[in-house]
Amino acid sequence: MPFQRSEGHLVTSPRWLERGLGACRPFGGFERAPGDKRALDRSLRRVRCPHGRDFGPSEEVRRRHRRRMEIDDRPFHVRDAAARGLTAKQLRGARLAAPFRGVRTAGRLDGVLDRTRTCAVKMHPAAFFSHVTAALLGGIWLPSALERSPFLHVSVPTGVRAPRDHLVKGHQLVPRPGQVRLHLGVRVADEIETWCQLAQILGLEDLVVAGESLLAKNRRRPRRLHELESAVAVGGRPRQQLLNRALPLLREGVRSAMETRLRRLLVQAGLPEPAINREIFDEAGLRVGECDLVFVAQRVVVEYEGRQHFDEQAMRDDILKYERLQDLGWRVVRVTKDDLQLRPAETVERVRAALAR
């Protein structure tokens, strides 16, 4: 008999040991599902038959099958599968995902960084991530539709064939000094080069927002406006005219994309350009607070109320700041996301009325 029952367990015969674990069923008669480590542990136990003899796989068999179950989570190219001890059947199995042609991974791809590290396995040595992908990795402000895009943008120098894949958009770019940097372990376009590349994808207003994210006051390493001017002045870039139009509209010291959009809305409506994130002090020289958009001559403050302003402590701080501003003779106009996106004309008139008082 191939199996004997003893004290509630199925005990294998010596003939099963000669065939290895391929014919094994977990004790209790249930088939082991692929990747079920608890079932694997049960199937690798050594048990004792009624005659006092131990049966079960040898230590070498146990080690070999545990190696097969424990697939490395790091992505790899299919040409390296044999070196990892994987068979062609395992490459086609459900445990390995194929996010890109010729690449396999057992790990989860939770974000753009995971996807770039996976795609980098198959990239040309001269290739690098650019355009929208480089912007996401560099924290550049983009429209929400592009932030959710599943595509990766990969560029190569002229003379190298651009990559092709169902989730990769390939580009050929003229090599420039300082064009590529190493960021979080992957080759990525430099931040300023990335902004110049975005002119191929974004419109004027979105390009201004993306550029001001590099100049933002709360950025870890803010860039300076003259750096962007130098990059654009080189010339010979795709959509050079759009870059030339966007450059004079950039301002340093912003804190969020919505602040930039609010300022651009007011200026395009013909209102004077406000100071950005200016600190206001009282007569005694005590700091009242920093305000988003400040019309100094008219003593009007425009505040964009993002989600961070609805935190309990932030709300208390804002109430105190606005009361002190009003005591000093300042008028405060508060703008929300809905005001900016759903009622832009009404928002402009509110600010215009405050300036006219």
Residue 57 has pLDDT above 70, yes or no: no
Task: Return left, alpha or beta for 51; rule: phi > 0 is left, psi -120 to 50 is alpha, else beta.
Answer: alpha
Whole-number pLDDT of residue 228: 97
CA distance 212 to 225: 9
CA distance 41 to 76: 28
pLDDT tens track for 263-287: 999 999 999 999 999 999 999 999 9
Instruction: Determine contact, residues 3/12, Cβ cutoff 8 Å.
Output: yes
Whole-number pLDDT of residue 11: 41
The DSSP annotation for 111-178 comes to: SHHHHHHHHGGGS-TT-EE-HHHHHHHTT----HHHHT---EEEEEETTSPPP-BTTEEEEEE---TT
pLDDT tens track for 93-104: 888 888 898 898
Whole-number pLDDT of residue 353: 96
Whole-number pLDDT of residue 55: 52
Residue 1 has pLDDT above 90, yes or no: no
Residue 86 has pLDDT above 70, yes or no: yes
DSSP 25: -
What is the pTM assigned to this prediction?
0.77
| b/e 202-241 (16+ beta carbons within 10 angstroms → b) | beebbbbbbbbbbbbeebeeebeeeebeebbeeeebebee
CA distance 14 to 88: 30
Residue 72 has pLDDT above 70, yes or no: no
| Domain residue ranges of the chain, discontinuous segments joined by + | 3-69, 112-249, 257-356
Residue 79 has pLDDT above 70, yes or no: yes
Residue 290, both tokens: 């920093």
Whole-number pLDDT of residue 3: 41
pLDDT tens track for 285-313: 999 999 999 999 999 999 998 877 677 77
Q: What is the mean pLDDT of the chain?
A: 84
pLDDT tens track for 160-209: 999 989 899 999 999 999 999 999 999 999 999 999 999 999 999 999 99
- Cα atoms found within 13 Å of the Cα of residue 164, Cβ hemisphere only: 2
CATH (residue range 257-356): 3.40.960.10
Which long-range contacts link 267-273 to residues 24+ away (Cβ below 8 Å)? 269/348, 269/352, 271/348, 271/351, 271/352, 271/355, 272/297, 272/355
Backbone φ and ψ for 45, nearest 5 degrees, come out as -70, 150
Distances from the Cα of 317 to the Cα of 175, 279, 292, 332, angstroms: 50, 15, 15, 15
Whole-number pLDDT of residue 83: 81
